[in-house]
A and B are shown apart, each in its own frame.
Chain A
Amino acid sequence: MICSVLFSVHCAAVSGQEEASQGQSQATSEQLEFFEKEVRPLLVEHCYECHSGKSKKLQAGLRVDSRKAMLKGGDSGPALIASNPDESSIIQAVRYDGFEMPPKGKLPANEIDILTKWVAMGAPWPAEQPSDGGADRESFDWQKRKEGHWVWQSIQNPTRPTIAETDWPKSDIDFFILSSLEKAGLKPTLQADKYALVRRLYLDIIGLPPTPEQVQQFVSNTNIIGTEQLVDQLLASPHFGERWGRHWLDLVRFAESRGHEFDNDAPYAYQYRDYVIRALNADVPYDQFVREHLAGDLLKSPRLNAAEHFNESILGTGFFHLGEWVHSPVDIRKDESDRFDNMIDVMSKTFLGVTVSCARCHDHKFDAISTEDYYSIAGFLQSSDYREVAFDAMECNREIGSQLAELDQNYREKIGSILSKASPASILAMDHASKETREANMQSLSDAVIVDYAIAEPSQFFVDGELFGKRPRHAGEISLVVSDGKAKLDFVRTSAAASDLFWNSFKKQEANSPNQMSSIGKLPRSGRTLRSPTFTLRDGKVDCRIQGQGHVVACVDSHRLLAGPLHGETVRGIPKADGFQWVTLNLGRYVGHRLHLEFTPDVDTLMEVQIVTQGASPEQLKAIEASKANVANQITEAAKVIDLELQKDKDAEERVNAIVESWSKARLELQQKIRTTSRVAMSMMDGTGEDEHVLIRGNSSNPGRTVARRFLVAVDGPEPLAIEHGSGRLELAERINAATNPLASRVIVNRIWHHLMGRGIVPTTDDFGFLGQRPSHPELLDHLATKFLSDGRSLKKMIRYVVLSKTYQLGSRPDAISTQLDPKNQFWHHHAAKRLEGEAIRDALLSISGRLDPTQYGPSIKVYLSSFMDGRGRPGQNGPLDGSNRRSIYLEVRRNFLSPMFVAFDTPTPFSAMGRRNVSNVPAQALILMNDPLVAELAKAWAQRACSTVPMSEGQSPDARIRWMVMSAFSRESNEPELAAARAFLNKHGQEFGMTIRDESLWEDFAHALVNKKEFIFQR
C-alpha cells in the first residue's frame, strides 16, 4: 500500500515536471500575434478538416485545435514537442518526412517555415477554452460491449419448451422449432416423401446422389433399410469426409497456389486437404481438431495415422499457411503484417465466428474486440514459423533421435569413468578449456553475439528434424570418429550445433512442385534444418562461423517467397572450404527488422555452426576465432595425453576400445531403424516466444507498445496467458476449447445446421458479432451447443442428431398460409429446396455417368485450362477436361486459375473464411449446363450407360429406359405426363434430326436435356 502511494506521488511529480517543461513560459504578445496572424490560419486551412473538434471524422485520433491536444497527440504519439521542431511530428509531417501532411500536397516552403518557427519559439497559444466538437477519441469499454451483445454470454442449457402439438416432435430440436412455429401461428408442412428424403440424405451427408438401387433399398415397402441405419451408413462412408471436407476448405481459404503475380505453388497443400478428409471421416473430436489446427506441432502425444503411423496432428497447422504469398515485396514488414492479418482473420472467423481483424487499425467499431486483442493474438504468430515438415518420418525419427542421445550419453559416461581414472588431469583440462571460452565470450562479445552454441540455452536451440541432434555438442565431449570402417575414440574440438552423419540416409520423398519459383524451395531443408533464435537486426553485417557446405537463409519478417529482384541477399550458399570459415550476410536493407537464420547442409555433407554475430568488428571476429582455436588446441593436447596414458594402461585401453566398438555397433544398429523417406507438408514450427507491438493504425512502420499474448479479453479477461515456453499456441488452443468460451461450440453447431438446413440459426455463419445477424432460435442454438459439448464434440453425432429430427425431414413444399406469413421461412415451416454447389453438380454428373473414380487422396488433378484462362503463372501443363473423373475436391485449386464452372456456381474465391457461400442465379450456370464440353461429354456417357443398362429390343417401348434415367438423375419414379413428354421428344426430335430410337445419339440428346432440368441441380 505504502509502495503504491509512493509510486503514484512519484508519478505525479514526473508528470508535473513534464508539464512544466512543455508549458508555456509566458508567451509574449508579439508571439501570440504571430500565432494568430500566421499560424492559426494555416492550421485552420490545412488541418482542421480532419484534426479538430469540428472534423466530421477525426483522423488518427489527433486534434490540432488546441495546444494541449497537440501535446497529447493522437495514435502516433504527441504531435508537438514544444521548442523542438525537428522532434515534433507535426513539423516532420509538413516536411513530408515520415508522415505526409497535408495529404493533398506539400505546403509551400514559407508556410513550413512559419510552423517551424512557431514550434521553435515554444508553440505559443493564447489561453482559451478548447472548442469541443465531441469528436475526441472514443474510449473502448469491452465490459460494456460484452454485456451488450448476446454472443459473449455463456451458453445456457435451455429446457425443452412446451408445445401444443405434442404428437409432432421426435427430438428436442423439434420442440424448439415447433414452439416458435406455434407462437407465430404457423404449422410445419408435411414430412418429405421417402424419395426426397433419401436423395437429401445422400447429398447432404456424402455429396453424391443415390443410385437407383440405393433408392430402391430405402423406399421399398419391405423396408430393407431404415432411416437411422441409412444415416449411419452414410456417416461411415469414406465420401462423408470429402463432402464435409469441402465445406471446411471454404473456411480456411484452401488453395494450392499463392496467387499474386506468378501464382507460385503452395507446395503440398493437398496434404492438408487429405488431413481434413481423414479427420472428418475418423470423427476426431472437434476440440482435438481445433487443437491440431492451432498447435498440432506442439502436442506431446500427437495423433498418429492408424494405418501408416505418421503424425496427423501436425498437418492441421498447415491451414495457417494457405494464404497468399508475395514475391519481392518492397515493404517486407508490411507484407508480414498482411500475412498475419489474413491468418488472424481466417482463424478468428473459422473457430470463433468473430472478426478480430476488424481491430487491426482501431478498436472494433461494434464488438468487444480491441486492438490489443488483435496484437496479442498476432504475438502467437510472431512466435511461430513456417516449415515443410517431414511428417511421415518425424515421429519415428524423433524416437530414434532420443534413443541416440541416450545411447551416446551412456557410452560417453562409460568411457568417461574409465578415462577419469586413467587420465584425470586431462579430462579436467578439457572441461576447463571449454568453460573458459564460454565465459570469455559471454563477457566481451555479448552485444554482438546472436547465438553462441557453446553457451546456448535449450530455449535458443531450434531444429526441424533430427539432423542436428537434441542439443549442440560441446567441446571436450567424448565422441567417435570412423575412418576406414574403424571406429576410434575422439573428443569434440569445438562447441557447435552440428549435424550428424548418422542421419544421412534420410531423404524427403517428393520432388518439388513445378511452379516453385522460390529460390529456397529447392533446398533440402525439410527435417534437416537448424534455426537460430529470432533477433532484431541492429547491424547489417551478420557473420556465422560455419564448417561444411550448404545454405544459410536469413528469414526476415518471415518472408520466404524469395523470387524476383529483391531480397536475394537473404540466401547465402556456403562454399566448400577446409575447416571453419566466416560466412557473412550483408543485410543492411533490413536493419531494425526481426529475423532468424536457418542453416541447411547439402545432401550427404556435414555442417557445424559455432556462433552467429551481428556487427562484429574484424578484431572481434579474430578474437572469437582465436578463443575457439585455443580451446581446440587445449583439447587436442589433452587428447594426446590421454592417448599416451592409455597406451601405458593396456587394460584401460582395451576396455575403452571394446566400448568404442560396441558404441559404434549400437549406432549402426539404431541407424537401420531410421525412416529414410518422408512426404512433407506445410506446417507450423515454434520459434522464439515473443509478444507483438501494437501497430498504430495498423501501420507496420509505426509500432507502439507491446501486448502480452492472450486470448480475447471479452472471453478471458485482460490477464496474459501463462506460457511456459515457445509460441504459446497450445495454450491458446486450450482457451479456445475451454467450455467457458461461448463462441467455439456455438459457431460449429451453427455451421452444421447451416449446411443441413440451408441457413444457420445465426445466418451470418462467420460473424456472430454486432453486425452479424442475431440467432433466429437462440435457445435451440444453445441446446445444440450444450449437446455437442456433452456428446464429446462429435461432428458426426451432431449431424446425426439434426438429420434424424422431424424438422430436417420436413417436405420442401410450404403450404399457402405459411408462405404468406413467413415467406422467407424464418421459422422453418418447411425444408426449402436448395441448389447444389458446383462441385456437387460435377460429382453428380460423374456419378450417374458411371465415370466417377472413387480414389481418395493424393496430389491434385491439374486444373483444366480453357483458352479463356490466361495470365501470368499459367501452368505449363494442362489438366484433363474430365479431371480424371475424380471427385471435385481432388481437383487442383489455383488462385489465379479457378475453375470457371465452380466460380459460376459460387465456389468462393479463396481469400478469407467463407462459411456461407453465395447462391447466385446467373445465366452462366445455364450456359455451362447447355454448352460446356464436359457436361456434354458426361451426359453422353450417361446415355450410353442407360442404353447398356436398360437394353431395348425392336419395337419395345422406351419407357423402361426413361424411368431408369429419371431415377438415376432425380432419385424418383417417373410420372405419366413426364413419360409422355419424353416419348414425344424422342419421337419428334429423332425424326427431325434423323435419328431412330435405336440410336444412342438420340438418347445422348435426351440425357443432355435431363441434366438441364432444374431438378438435377436442386435438392428438395
Chain B
Amino acid sequence: MNHCNRFRPAPINRRELLQRFGSGFGLTALTALMHDPAFGALTLEDLKSEKSEAKAGMPNHGLHHPAKATSVIFLYMDGGPSQVDTFDPKPMLDKYNGKDPGEFFKVEATQFNSIGKVLASPWKFNPYGECGLPVSDLFPNIATCSDDLCVVRSMVSEFPEHTFANYFLHTGSGLQGRPSMGAWINYGLGSVNQSLPGFVVVNGGLIPPGGLDCFGSGFLPASYQGSVFKPKGTAVANVQPLEKTMERQRSKLSLVNQLDHLASDQFGTSDNIESAIRNYELASQMQTAIPELMAFGDETQATQTMYGFDAAYEPTRTFAAECLMARRLVERGVRFIELTCPSVSGDRWDQHSNLKEGHENNAKAVDQPIAALLKDLKQRGLLEKTLVVWAGEFGRTPFAQGTNGRDHNPFGFTVWLAGGGAKGGTVYGQTDEFGYKAIEDRTEMHDLHATMLHLLGVDHTRSTFRFGGRDMRLTDVKGHVVHKIIA
C-alpha cells in the first residue's frame, strides 16, 4: 500500500465557503463539497447560522486560536532511542554499573524478559549552548542547536511493544486503523498547497512496525492519508505519465475533458462528477509539482554539503535527502511531514543487543542532517513557523538486556521539540535517578499531541470527527496542553 497521492484540495472554512458561494461558485458544486466529509457535513442552514460551529459533533475546522506553527516536521526515531544515552544523563548508572537493578527499584515486565544489570552509558555527556543542555557524544551536530531544543525528559507511553507504541505515538491509540496525527492536523487545518498532499511521509527505508497504518486516515476520509514519498527518483507512485511525451497525455486528457462536458445529457450537472472532473486538474498539477519538488539541483553545493549529501556513510546521505526534502515541503506549505529512518547496518534504534554499535550507526545517519535542517530552517526564517519534533515510540531500559543491549521502556523517555513556538534551550520534566521512570511533569502521548495541535492553533478537544457513535479525537478523552514548553 503506498498511500501516496492522497492529495486533495484544501478544505475551506465557513467564511471561504460563503465567499465562494457569493461569488458565483456554483450552488451544485457547493453542495458537492458539503457532501464530501472532508469538508464537514455542513448544510445550507448551517452556513447561514452563526451557531454552526457549536453544533455537537460537527467537525470544527480552522483555527481555534492564533497558530504559532503552520507546519510540522516529525523526525521519527524508529525503534526507541535510549534516553540515558542521548539527552538524559544519569550518573547513578556509572555508580551502580553492573549491579542488580532490583536492588534499587521495582523492575517491570519487559518485551524480552531478559533482565540484566544496571548499564552505564557508553557515551559522555557535555553541556552545550547558552542553556548548557547536556547532550551525549552521539549527537555532536545536533548539540550545536541546543539553544533551539526544548527537551522533554518525562515522556511516557502506555505500551512496551513496538507496534502498539507506534500506533499510539502516531494516532493516539494503540490499535490499528486509527487516523494518524498528520491526518488529524490536515483534517483540522487543510493544506495550503493544492498540488501536493498535506501529509507526506518521506520514507528513508524503514516503514515503522505496524506498517503504513501509522500514516493512515482511519475513519477520516482517504484524502487525509499520509502519502509515502521516496527521497529520490520519482518520489511518488503514479505521477509519472506512461505516455512517451507529456503532449500525448495532454491530447488524451483534452478528449476526456471534452467528453466529460458532453455528459450533461446523461448526468445533468451532477455535483460529485463535477468534483471528479476538477480532480484531473489537480492531478495534472501534481505531475509537475513533484518533479519540481525533487529538483535538488536547485540547491547550492554548500547547502547540499551542510545536509550531508557528500557524507561517506550512505544512510547519512539518505537522511540528508529526506531532511532537505522536508524543508522544501515546508516551503511549499505542506502541513505535516514525517521522516522515517534509513536502514543502517544492524537495526533501527532498537538495540536489544550491541547498544554501542547500533546507536552509533543510527546517530551517524541522522545527526548531521537534522542539525543542518534546524540551521537551514532558521536561516531562512522558517523555524519560527515550523515545529520540529524528534521522538521514538518509547525509550530504553537503564539496565541491560542480556549484557550489552537495552530493552523497551515506556515509563520514561526523552523527546525534543524545536521551532514552531516550542521554548528553545529548555528541559522539561525528569525521570528518576536511574532514568527509568518519569517522576516529574509526566508527559503522556496525548499531552504531546495536544501541545502539537495547540501550537498549530487547534484545540484538541474541539477537533472531532463522529465515528462509531462517538466524537473521536486525536487525544481520545485525554490530553493536556503542556504550556510550560511553549515559548
Identify the A interface with B (CB < 8 A).
Answer: 96, 103-106, 196, 259-263, 324, 326, 328-331, 338, 342, 345, 349, 354-355, 357-358, 364-367, 565-566, 589, 766-767, 769-772, 812-814, 819, 823-824, 832-835, 866, 868-873, 895-900, 903-906, 909-912, 918-928, 930-933, 936, 970, 972, 975, 977-978, 981-982, 985, 988-989, 992-993, 1005-1006, 1008-1010, 1012-1015, 1017-1018, 1020
CB of B92 within 8 Å of the partner chain: no
Return the chain B residue nearest A329 by Cβ. Answer: B161
Per the bound structure, the CA–CA distance linking A370 and B318 in Å amounts to 53
Say yes or no: B262 contacts A981, CB within 8 Å. yes
Say yes or no: B469 contacts A105, CB within 8 Å. no
Chain A residues contacting B71 (CB-CB under 8 Å) are none
CB of B487 within 8 Å of the partner chain: no
Chain B residues contacting A1014 (CB-CB under 8 Å) are 260, 263, 273, 276-277
* Interchain CB contact (< 8 A) of A565 among B112, B174, B442, B470: B112
Per the bound structure, the CA–CA distance linking A9 and B235 in Å amounts to 78
B26–chain A nearest beta-carbon distance, Å: 11
0/1 interface trace, chain B 257-283, chain A, CB 8 Å (1 if under): 011101101111010110111011011
Q: State whether A981 and B256 are in contact (beta carbons under 8 Å apart), knowing that A259-B176, A900-B1 are contacts in the complex.
A: no
Say yes or no: A812 contacts B161, CB within 8 Å. no
* Interchain CB contact (< 8 A) of A918 among B203, B222, B240, B268: B222
CB of B199 within 8 Å of the partner chain: no
Chain A residues contacting B316 (CB-CB under 8 Å) are none
* Interchain CB contact (< 8 A) of A904 among B35, B222, B247, B437: B222
Task: Bin the interface of chain B by size.
Answer: 35 or more
Say yes or no: B253 contacts A920, CB within 8 Å. no
Q: State whether A895 and B213 are in contact (beta carbons under 8 Å apart), knowing that A904-B5, A930-B283, A932-B238 are contacts in the complex.
A: yes
Of the candidates A909, A925, A936, the one having the most CB atoms from chain B within 10 angstroms of its own CB is A909
Say yes or no: A912 contacts B468, CB within 8 Å. yes
Chain B residues contacting A903 (CB-CB under 8 Å) are 1, 3, 222, 225
B188–chain A nearest beta-carbon distance, Å: 17
Say yes or no: A345 contacts B210, CB within 8 Å. no
Say yes or no: B36 contacts A921, CB within 8 Å. yes
Say yes or no: A260 contacts B263, CB within 8 Å. no
Chain B residues contacting A342 (CB-CB under 8 Å) are 175
Return the chain A residue nearest B57 by Cβ. Answer: A771
B8–chain A nearest beta-carbon distance, Å: 5
Given contact pairs A326-B161, A924-B283, A1008-B252, enumerate 14 new A-B contacts (beta carbons under 8 Å): A328-B161, A355-B470, A358-B469, A770-B469, A823-B28, A870-B203, A872-B209, A898-B212, A920-B221, A927-B286, A931-B241, A1012-B253, A1012-B256, A1018-B276
0/1 interface trace, chain B 52-77, chain A, CB 8 Å (1 if under): 00000100000000000000000000
Per the bound structure, the CA–CA distance linking A982 and B240 in Å amounts to 26
Number of A-B pairs, beta carbon distance below 8 Å: 306
Of the candidates A260, A324, A993, the one having the most CB atoms from chain B within 10 angstroms of its own CB is A260
Return the chain B residue nearest A992 by Cβ. Answer: B251
Per the bound structure, the CA–CA distance linking A977 and B280 in Å amounts to 22
Per the bound structure, the CA–CA distance linking A771 and B438 in Å amounts to 38
Chain B residues contacting A870 (CB-CB under 8 Å) are 203, 207
- CB interface residues, B 132-166, toward A, < 8 Å: 154, 160-164
Say yes or no: A766 contacts B228, CB within 8 Å. no
Q: Nearest 6 pairs between A and B by C-beta? A: A911-B177, A868-B2, A896-B211, A871-B207, A924-B5, A355-B469
Chain B residues contacting A1013 (CB-CB under 8 Å) are 256, 259-260, 263
* Interchain CB contact (< 8 A) of A105 among B38, B154, B263: B154
Say yes or no: B267 contacts A1018, CB within 8 Å. yes
Say yes or no: B27 contacts A823, CB within 8 Å. yes
Say yes or no: A1012 contacts B252, CB within 8 Å. yes
Per the bound structure, the CA–CA distance linking A263 and B114 in Å amounts to 25
0/1 interface trace, chain B 224-262, chain A, CB 8 Å (1 if under): 010010100000111111100101110111011011101
* Interchain CB contact (< 8 A) of B279 among A868, A869, A923: A923
Say yes or no: A922 contacts B6, CB within 8 Å. yes
Chain B residues contacting A358 (CB-CB under 8 Å) are 468-470
Say yes or no: B259 contacts A981, CB within 8 Å. yes
Q: State whether A975 and B262 are in contact (beta carbons under 8 Å apart), knowing that A324-B176, A918-B221, A926-B282 are contacts in the complex.
A: yes
Say yes or no: B1 contacts A923, CB within 8 Å. no
Say yes or no: A923 contacts B270, CB within 8 Å. no
CB of B420 within 8 Å of the partner chain: no
Per the bound structure, the CA–CA distance linking A1010 and B218 in Å amounts to 32
Chain A residues contacting B57 (CB-CB under 8 Å) are 771
Chain A residues contacting B287 (CB-CB under 8 Å) are 927
Per the bound structure, the CA–CA distance linking A331 and B415 in Å amounts to 25
Per the bound structure, the CA–CA distance linking A354 and B113 in Å amounts to 41
Say yes or no: B43 contacts A813, CB within 8 Å. no
Return the chain A residue nearest B33 by Cβ. Answer: A921
Say yes or no: A900 contacts B237, CB within 8 Å. yes
- CB interface residues, B 172-226, toward A, < 8 Å: 174-178, 203, 207-213, 216, 218, 221-223, 225
Chain B residues contacting A566 (CB-CB under 8 Å) are 111-113
Return the chain B residue nearest A930 by Cβ. Answer: B283
- CB interface residues, B 281-325, toward A, < 8 Å: 282-283, 286-287
Per the bound structure, the CA–CA distance linking A105 and B442 in Å amounts to 5
